Amino acid sequence: MLELSGVCKSFTRGGVKRDVLKGVDATFWPGDAVGILGRNGAGKSTLIRIMAGVEHPTSGRVRRRMSISWPMGYGGAVHDQLSGADNARFIARIYDRPVDWVESFVKEFSEIGDQFRQPVKTYSSGMRARLIFALSMAVDFDCYLIDEVIAAGDARFAERCRQSLLSRRGRSALILVSHHMETVRSLCTHAAILSDGRLKFHENLDQAFAEYQHL
Amino acid sequence: MLYAPEDVSFLRALRARCRVIGALMLREIHTRFGRQNLGYVWLFVEPGMLGLGVGAWKYFGGGDESMPGGLNKFSFFLIGYILFYLFRTLVNRSPNGIEANFQLFYHSRVTVEAVMLARSLLDAGAVTVCMSVFLILIGVTIGEWPSDPLQMAFGILMMMGLAHGLGLLILSSTAAGSQLVDRLVHPFTYLMLPFSGMFYMVWWLPGPYQEILLWIPLIHIMEFTREGQFGPGVPYSYDLPYVLSWIFVLNFLGLCALKAAKPHFEL
């Protein structure tokens, strides 16, 4: 279970305070597949980073009672100076997975080839995305946080990502943030709309899409 | 099956923490020293070379003047330098603890506290191995062996605790947006050098100065560690409860400050 209660987040830039999230309440269970829709700048990325624990809320509380992935779709989560293999071993150790198994799984799944032993900074953006996705599959999280990862990498790999995520639907939770309704439709069963710093849930995808279009 | 921290027994949580800290230490070794070049060896060579330089300079440059109490100059300055090096490294590096490791915080199991602790432990370990190597060399060549190695190890551990607590405070204030603290850290560690006890022992000085200097916890740690090397024969001035109180209070305040600063972290 992942529970957010009264989560607020504000940033202060040059003395000006801006409230990005104004009290988000939400609970996610394993098996949920929720798409969070929001316009650019609505605070989608901030929200998913708070869920992942990358950032801390200004006020409010986040309780994590299942293993939560890092927010996928960003550059983070891997270290540039280390090789893909070293990153895999590090992540295996952190999440208590068999180190050698994770390394070979990631090598195979990511299809990086010989560069697997080179520093990540030498990778192309597609290879990077494949590495990060493969790492998250190797850890086998209870909940995946995804920010437009489907757009990264080539079409064939994107389809594989989609299939891998779909095959996990039911046992892992999936939280996807996007401003594309199609992406949400292809992976999610429920949708929520983030606007004006608040999150509103809709049981029905079409109802959510209709409201989203009116924003 | 994975467990979130709130879900588990204390022992299991502790094991998970230890595993994360271990992984962080390994990673820190990889990123800081790389697999190429001298690799892991560099970890020990760097403080060693500097300690050796200072030790040799004092030994040969100091001429015939003998040390008060007939202490071996080489081991005297080596211990002083390496201990101060540990303090300086940990404190100087503390402000960039978050920026330099921002990728790590994408993993919810990796906390700022764990990253800082892993770094401190790694440096303390490096310094311990480095000091051991040089003290063994001194033992083999001059025949002067440490009188109580365990006491010296405890001295290093206390120095780590002191610098770690101070580092947490510095990190919290810089993370909360204070540029001033960030700027003052390097001058502070330079200015601490004469007050660290690296170049002298307290009993060499006149009484009034002794009293003032003994307010500084660094000096107690120096004296304590040197006693571990030279043993009885010269007077040492230290007060363990005083140092341990400093360490406890600094770490406690540091952790509180870090908790308060967390909502202000920007990655």
ipTM: 0.82
Q: Is the dihedral of CA A57, A62, A67, A69 positive or negative?
A: negative
Degrees, nearest 5: CA angle B170-B115-A130: 130
Q: Edge to edge, what strands does the sheet with A143-147 contain?
A: A68-72, A143-147, A173-178, A33-37, A190-195, A198-202
pLDDT at B3: 46
pLDDT bin (cut points 50, 70, 90) of residue B66 is low
Mean pLDDT, range B207-230, rounded to an integer? 91
pLDDT at B1: 41
DSSP-based three-state secondary structure for B2: coil
Would you call A95 and B7 a contact, using CB atoms and an 8 Å cutoff?
no
pLDDT at B115: 93
Q: What is the pLDDT of residues B102-131, one digit of tens each?
A: 888 888 888 899 999 999 999 898 889 888
pLDDT bin (cut points 50, 70, 90) of residue B90 is very high
Angstrom distance (rounded) from CA B222 to CA B84: 9
**Tokens standing for residue B222:** 């120096």
Mean pLDDT, range B201-206, rounded to an integer? 85
Share of chain A above pLDDT 70, in %: 96
Question: How many angstroms away from the CA of B255 is the closest CA of chain A?
Answer: 16
Would you call B106 and A58 a contact, using CB atoms and an 8 Å cutoff?
no
Share of chain B above pLDDT 90, in %: 37
- DSSP per-residue letters across chain A: -EEEEEEEEEEEETTEEEEEEEEEEEEE-TT-EEEEE--TTSSHHHHHHHHHTSS--SEEEEEE-S-EEEEETBSTTS-TTSBHHHHHHHHHHHTT--HHHHHHHHHHHHT-GGGGGSBGGGS-HHHHHHHHHHHHHHHT-SEEEEESGGGSS-HHHHHHHHHHHHHHBTTBEEEEEES-HHHHHHH-SEEEEEETTEEEEESSHHHHHHHHHT-
Mean pLDDT, range B55-66, rounded to an integer? 64
Mean pLDDT, range A1-28, rounded to an integer? 88
Angstrom distance (rounded) from CA A143 to CA B266: 24
pLDDT at A157: 79
Does B39 contact chain A (CB < 8 Å)?
Answer: no
Mean pLDDT, range B221-230, rounded to an integer? 93
Find the closest chain B residue to A142 by CA distance: B2
Q: Is the pLDDT of residue A89 over 90?
A: yes
pLDDT at B47: 67
pLDDT at A154: 72
Does B32 contact chain A (CB < 8 Å)?
Answer: no
Mean pLDDT, range A17-24, rounded to an integer? 90
Residues of A in contact with B23 (CB under 8 A): 90, 93-94
pLDDT bin (cut points 50, 70, 90) of residue B7 is low
Residues of B in contact with A11 (CB under 8 A): 266
Q: Which amino acid is at A205?
A: L
- For B102, the closest of A76, A82, A141 (CB atoms) is A76
Q: How many CB pairs under 8 A join A and B?
A: 85
In 3D space, the residue among A32, A46, A25 whose CA is nearest the CA of residue A1 turns out to be A32
pLDDT bin (cut points 50, 70, 90) of residue B209 is confident
Q: What is the pLDDT of residues B125-172, one digit of tens each?
A: 888 988 898 889 888 988 888 989 999 999 999 999 999 999 999 999
- For B2, the closest of A52, A67, A80 (CB atoms) is A67
| Cβ contact A95:B2 at 8 Å | yes
Which is more confidently placed, B5 or B48? B48
Question: Model-level pTM greater than 0.90?
Answer: no
Lowest mean pLDDT among A98-107, A199-208, B1-10, B178-187: B1-10
Q: What is the pLDDT of residues B30-44, one digit of tens each?
A: 877 766 656 567 666
Angstrom distance (rounded) from CA B135 to CA A22: 60
Find the closest chain A residue to B102 by CA distance: A76
Lowest mean pLDDT among B51-60, B120-129, B163-172, B199-208: B51-60
Query: Could you identify the residue written with the tokens 């994360």?
Result: B20
Does B105 contact chain A (CB < 8 Å)?
Answer: yes
Mean pLDDT, range A154-181, rounded to an integer? 84
Q: What is the pLDDT of residues A114-137, one digit of tens each?
A: 999 999 989 988 888 889 889 999
Q: Give the mean pLDDT of chain A.
A: 87
**Tokens standing for residue B15:** 């094991």
Angstrom distance (rounded) from CA A27 to CA A60: 14
Does B12 contact chain A (CB < 8 Å)?
Answer: no
Share of chain B above pLDDT 70, in %: 87
